[in-house]
Amino acid sequence: MKNTILFLFILFLFSYSLSGQQAMTGNDSLRKDALNVYMEASSYIKQHIPYINYVRDRKVADLVIISTSERTGSGGSKYSMFLEGQGKFSGMTDTLKYSTSPDETYEHTRDKQVKTLRMGLMRYVLKTPLAKYIDIDFSEPISAEVSTDKWNNWVFRASISGFASGESSYSNLNTFGGFSAGKVTDDWKIDIDLDYSLGIDKFTIADEVYESKTISKSSDILIVRSVNDHWSYGGSAGISSSTYSNYDLKLSFMPGIEFDIFPYSESTRRQLRFLYSIGYMYNDYADTTIYNKTEETLFAHSLKGAFEVIQKWGSIDISVSWSNYLRNFSENMLALSGSIDWRVAKGLSINLGGFFSFIHNQVSLVKGGASSEEILLRRKELETNFNYFAHFGFSYTFGSIYNNVVNPRFGGSGGGRTIIIH
């Protein structure tokens, strides 16, 4: 009886599979002629642009699409998609752009992405047999008038957040607040930020309560003036206080000039920028420093170089900066940071990054040092010659080159959530 049931079950699966293959024959004749596209595509894109093949290897693609994004002056984002044809489409390139405002939902953002991508793909789909099935429509008349911006490109944002956690012998509270104002035009970039943070930790050990608190407040302004497509000048100013870094008051003013070897108009694909700044600082310390100072005036300068590039094989982002106090060049800091995302071969990707700093400019360290609680909770800045952070990883994918189908059932690779019942 069991063998009969097993045989009937296998026969059912075979018949179902065969009927599925037969049902797909008509679609396969179109699918094999579809455009092969290599890109980072969400499930939403695959569902709403089904007339192309999403492949996992750029070497077999007819079209490679690279997507980048930048923050805009309004607090939204400006997205760019770079299309580069390969094989029979070699020499065909396009750049697609669209913007989103900070009050737009995720639904609006992905709708704009799909609409923009659909229009950009038409030039390439037109050269495939699937072109005869494409219909283009325009849904809204164009207004002849452009409304005047009553805010004159200024955008304001206020935020407050916090979190708390605890148990019977421990509690933690962290709160953050901020306000920003900004204006971004072709000629000017202005950023104003005000921030406040408070952190409180309480421990109960043998009926004794230990409390540790850190407070930081800061206000910064950045003003940049464009000269041309390679040069700009401006400066930053700030006022802050920090119990962690031993500042009752810290003032700074740092004018600077920047040169980008590549035009700023190409910033979404490549940058090689050099920024030099020089200026004035005033420090009023909460406690006497290891240099027996309660306050002092300093002059400093810095040089920073940054290189960014995004290509079909991946992306590189590297920066190096040097700064020191003019009174003594031995009081300096050298910082290196970067990240690399490299598609080494078919299916194989490597990403690594981090930063490393050589530190010789800690002028605000407290003379009396820090207590055990402050050291363990990192509530006071400690003397160090360096700090670093690093991350790395790799992934390897193999199998079918096609990645078209979206199936959200039971969560997993199609999205959603999987619930396991024990």
Q: Are strands 35-38 and 52-54 parallel, antiparallel or unpaired?
A: parallel
Residue 386 within a domain: yes
* Mean pLDDT lowest among 3-7, 182-186, 197-201, 333-337: 3-7
pTM greater than the 0.85 cutoff: no
Residue 129 within a domain: yes
- Percentage of residues in the chain having pLDDT higher than 70: 84
**C-beta of residue 73 within 8 angstroms of C-beta of residue 189:** yes
Does the pLDDT value for residue 294 go beyond 90? yes
Picking from 107, 136, 165, the residue at the C-terminal end of a domain is: 136
Residue 97 within a domain: yes
CA 281, CA 177: separation in Å to the nearest integer?
25
Picking from 72, 107, 136, the residue at the C-terminal end of a domain is: 136
Residues in the chain: 422
232 and 83 in a single domain? The answer is no
Span 221-240, average pLDDT = 94
100 and 248 in a single domain? The answer is no
pLDDT digits (tens, 9 = 90+) for 379-405: 788 889 999 999 999 888 777 666 655
Residue 201 within a domain: no
Residue 295 is predicted with a pLDDT of 95
* Mean pLDDT lowest among 84-93, 194-203, 359-368, 400-409: 400-409
- Percentage of residues in the chain having pLDDT higher than 90: 41
244 and 95 in a single domain? The answer is no
Picking from 99, 115, 136, the residue at the C-terminal end of a domain is: 136
CA 236, CA 249: separation in Å to the nearest integer?
17
Alpha helix (H) residue ranges in 34-174 = 43-48, 106-125
CB neighbourhood size of 25 (10 A): 8
130 and 233 in a single domain? The answer is no
Q: Which residues, other chains included, contact 255 with Cβ-Cβ below 8 Å and sequence gap of 6+?
A: 233, 234, 235, 277, 278, 279
Going by pLDDT thresholds of 50, 70 and 90, the confidence category of residue 10 is low
Going by pLDDT thresholds of 50, 70 and 90, the confidence category of residue 418 is very low
Residue 366 within a domain: yes
154 DSSP β-pair partners: 183
* Mean pLDDT lowest among 1-5, 151-155, 161-165, 256-260: 1-5
Per the listing, tokens 């008038």 go with 145
- C-alpha 396: how far from chain center: 23
269 and 390 in a single domain? The answer is yes
231 and 334 in a single domain? The answer is yes
Residue 21 within a domain: no
Our count of domains for the chain comes to: 2
List the domain range (segments joined by +) for residue 383: 227-396
**C-beta of residue 279 within 8 angstroms of C-beta of residue 299:** yes
Going by pLDDT thresholds of 50, 70 and 90, the confidence category of residue 414 is very low
Going by pLDDT thresholds of 50, 70 and 90, the confidence category of residue 306 is very high
271 and 386 in a single domain? The answer is yes
**C-beta of residue 332 within 8 angstroms of C-beta of residue 361:** yes
pLDDT digits (tens, 9 = 90+) for 105-140: 777 888 888 989 988 998 898 888 888 888 877 666
Residue 20 is predicted with a pLDDT of 47
240 and 389 in a single domain? The answer is yes
Residue 145 within a domain: no
CA 404, CA 34: separation in Å to the nearest integer?
11
CA 308, CA 317: separation in Å to the nearest integer?
4
Q: Which residues, other chains included, contact 105 with Cβ-Cβ below 8 Å and sequence gap of 6+?
A: none
The continuous run of DSSP H or E covering 21 comes out as helix 2-23
Residue 416 within a domain: no
Does the pLDDT value for residue 27 go beyond 70? no
132 and 267 in a single domain? The answer is no
Span 192-219, average pLDDT = 89
**Tokens matching residue 363:** 């002028």
Alpha helix (H) residue ranges in 49-190 = 106-125
